[in-house]
A and B are shown apart, each in its own frame.
Chain A
Amino acid sequence: METKKWEPRIVAFLCNWCSYAGADLAGVSRYQYPPSLRIIRVPCSGRVSANMVLDALKSGADGVLVSGCHPGDCHYISGNMYARRRLALLKSLLEFIGIEPERFNVSWISASEGKQFAEVAREVTEKVRALGPARHLVKDF
């Protein structure tokens, strides 16, 4: 039976080496999670700029997930470290202006964490689902 409930749309920027592989592993291990994520493969979480996150929200994403290698595991040595600062500040600023904190999420998922990936996907989806569709920064006309 398919459940008929509102399915949020979440843009997920996943680094190629850890989190995208972790998402693959979730599939290989058949861990099930809601069909809400739209995964965009990026080389590194360090590739994800504040502009990109805002663009996803502007385009109508109900939530955004950025996921990279655990600190210290970055395939590119330190990309995730820069990402951590950038995204921490962005997250804080977005919350400051009243964007619900649950809309923008950052996680670390390694290539061996298929289960964790599914759990993060579930957690993010359910939190966003509870908020309802995004309104604040969505461009529409």
Chain B
Amino acid sequence: MESSSSKITDEIRAEASRLLSSGEVAAFLGFVPGSLPMTVRPFVARSSEDAARLVWNSFCVMNLANYLPEVLKSVEPPRGPGDPEPEGPLPRVGVLATGCWSRNMVVQIQENRIQRDRVVILGISSRGMVDRKKVLARLGGREALKVEEQDHSLLVSGRAFNEEIPRWEVVRDNCRSCVHPDPVIWDIMIGERAGDRQNANRFAQVEEIESLAPEERWAWFQEEISSCIRCYACRNACPLCYCPTCFVDDSRPQWVGKSIEPVDTAIFHILRAYHCAGRCTDCGACESACPMGIRMRLFTKKLEKDVLEMYGAEAGMDPETPLPLSTFSPDDPQDFIVTGQESPKSTGDEAGRSGEVSQS
């Protein structure tokens, strides 16, 4: 029986081919198979021949929105800085989008990174992508030489072993906690929309950490980031990390040291996460890209939880709703404000108003 992924693959090929050959799009962003099991390679198809190579499977973990601004620019007629926008509509680009990717595109539209009318979105309701590292962990060091995907399991084989792994067990954490699998914006829907997932306990991982004592949390954080090599794969895999000069590269001021000393690594991860506050759509690309297995998604997930709880906002759900950090409400929660009411009472030298002691 044909798997759902291969059905989607066929539809993608057909639509991409149609869009490219009709000239509706100048390029189409998708994936082609990778050179290793459980890998795919992001790919820009520019012809219907290219389109025939496209593939969709459970290993499409990179967020294609990351490539959109660059690919959009690549199809524009060349112009110098300060030259006016060319007359007439610019060429368009087709792209695949699941729920989180489409929301990411919404944020990019809000931030003037991409123009809605220049992208043709092929929407796909995501069933969740597989975490390659989880599969490797289950193999305990045995090398997977071949992985075959079925709707509900993966058939893994290597030197002298065959193993069937239930798919949902190795799905990425972000996908397991996803509540919006359907695209928010799309032009052509591939397959059916699945509707929001009601029962996913989306913040379970965060709550588990929140329940720890401060010192335990610090120990967890240190352990989590201890293997970081500062390769910035997380940053570069993120479509929202697009600053021309990242704060890590500023030298005046030097916000963060460049090496892998724990303080530097900590500040890098704190600020990287913070810069995604209210913008991150939990696509999980950062975690998937990390060669060292760091779960930096937890930091952004915590912020996602806070933004939802404090400001009732979820990134990328609506292009008309301002991003949470560029707006405010007069009634925003502020129970963290220090008032001095817990100030210790007068204790000699440095407390109270000079001359406060009553007459003797």
Give the CA-CA distance A85 to B216 in the complex, in Å. Answer: 26
Check A78 against B328 for contact (C-beta < 8 Å). yes
Interface residue B214 (Cβ < 8 Å from any Cβ of A): yes
- Report B345 CB to chain A, min CB distance, Å: 9
Check A32 against B330 for contact (C-beta < 8 Å). no
Q: How many residues of B contact A (CB 8 A)?
A: 59
Residues of A43-60 at the interface with B, using a CB-CB cut-off of 8 Å, are 50-51, 54-55, 58
Check A89 against B277 for contact (C-beta < 8 Å). yes
Chain A residues near B218: list those with CB within 8 A.
Answer: 97-99, 136
Give the CA-CA distance A120 to B338 in the complex, in Å. Answer: 7
- Report B273 CB to chain A, min CB distance, Å: 7
Interface residue A9 (Cβ < 8 Å from any Cβ of B): no
Interface residue B90 (Cβ < 8 Å from any Cβ of A): no
Q: Is the interface of A mostly helix, strand, loop or mixed?
A: helix
Give the CA-CA distance A117 to B334 in the complex, in Å. Answer: 18
Interface residue B332 (Cβ < 8 Å from any Cβ of A): yes
Q: A3-B349, A71-B330 are in contact. Are A93 and B336 (CB under 8 A)?
A: no
Contact of A30 among B247, B349, B353 (CB under 8 A): B353
Check B337 against A98 for contact (C-beta < 8 Å). no
Interface residue A72 (Cβ < 8 Å from any Cβ of B): yes
Q: Is the interface of B mostly helix, strand, loop or mixed?
A: helix
- Report A28 CB to chain B, min CB distance, Å: 11
Residues of B294-342 at the interface with A, using a CB-CB cut-off of 8 Å, are 299, 302-303, 306-307, 310-311, 324-326, 328, 330, 332-334, 336-342
Check B332 against A92 for contact (C-beta < 8 Å). no
Chain A residues near B332: list those with CB within 8 A.
Answer: 81, 84-85, 88
Give the CA-CA distance A122 to B247 in the complex, in Å. Answer: 34
Interface residue B263 (Cβ < 8 Å from any Cβ of A): yes
Chain B residues near A24: list those with CB within 8 A.
Answer: none
Give the CA-CA distance A136 to B278 in the complex, in Å. Answer: 26
Q: A115-B353, A122-B351, A139-B264 are in contact. Are A91 and B336 (CB under 8 A)?
A: yes
Interface residue B77 (Cβ < 8 Å from any Cβ of A): no
Check B352 against A32 for contact (C-beta < 8 Å). yes
Give the CA-CA distance A140 to B299 in the complex, in Å. Answer: 25
Give the CA-CA distance A2 to B257 in the complex, in Å. Answer: 38
Q: Mark A11-38, 1 if CB is under 8 A from B, else 0.
A: 0000000000000000001111111000
Chain B residues near A94: list those with CB within 8 A.
Answer: 270
Interface residue B84 (Cβ < 8 Å from any Cβ of A): no
Residues of B249-280 at the interface with A, using a CB-CB cut-off of 8 Å, are 253, 255-257, 261, 263-264, 266-267, 270-271, 273-274, 277-278
Interface residue B355 (Cβ < 8 Å from any Cβ of A): yes
Check A32 against B354 for contact (C-beta < 8 Å). yes
Interface residue B231 (Cβ < 8 Å from any Cβ of A): no
Contact of A98 among B215, B354, B355 (CB under 8 A): B215
Contact of B350 among A34, A78, A81 (CB under 8 A): A34
Chain A residues near B342: list those with CB within 8 A.
Answer: 123, 127
Q: A32-B351, A96-B209, A97-B221 are in contact. Are A54 and B270 (CB under 8 A)?
A: yes
Check A119 against B343 for contact (C-beta < 8 Å). yes
Chain A residues near B221: list those with CB within 8 A.
Answer: 97-98
Check B340 against A122 for contact (C-beta < 8 Å). yes
What are 12 sample pairs from A and B whose C-beta atoms fall under 8 A apart? A32-B350, A58-B263, A84-B332, A85-B310, A89-B307, A93-B302, A98-B216, A118-B353, A119-B340, A121-B340, A122-B351, A136-B218
Top 8 nearest A-B pairs by Cβ distance?
Answer: A98-B218, A119-B340, A98-B217, A81-B328, A120-B340, A123-B343, A97-B221, A119-B343
* Interface residues in chain A, defined as those with a beta carbon under 8 Å from any beta carbon in chain B: 1-3, 29-35, 50-51, 54-55, 58, 65, 71-72, 78, 81-82, 84-101, 105-108, 115-124, 126-127, 136-141
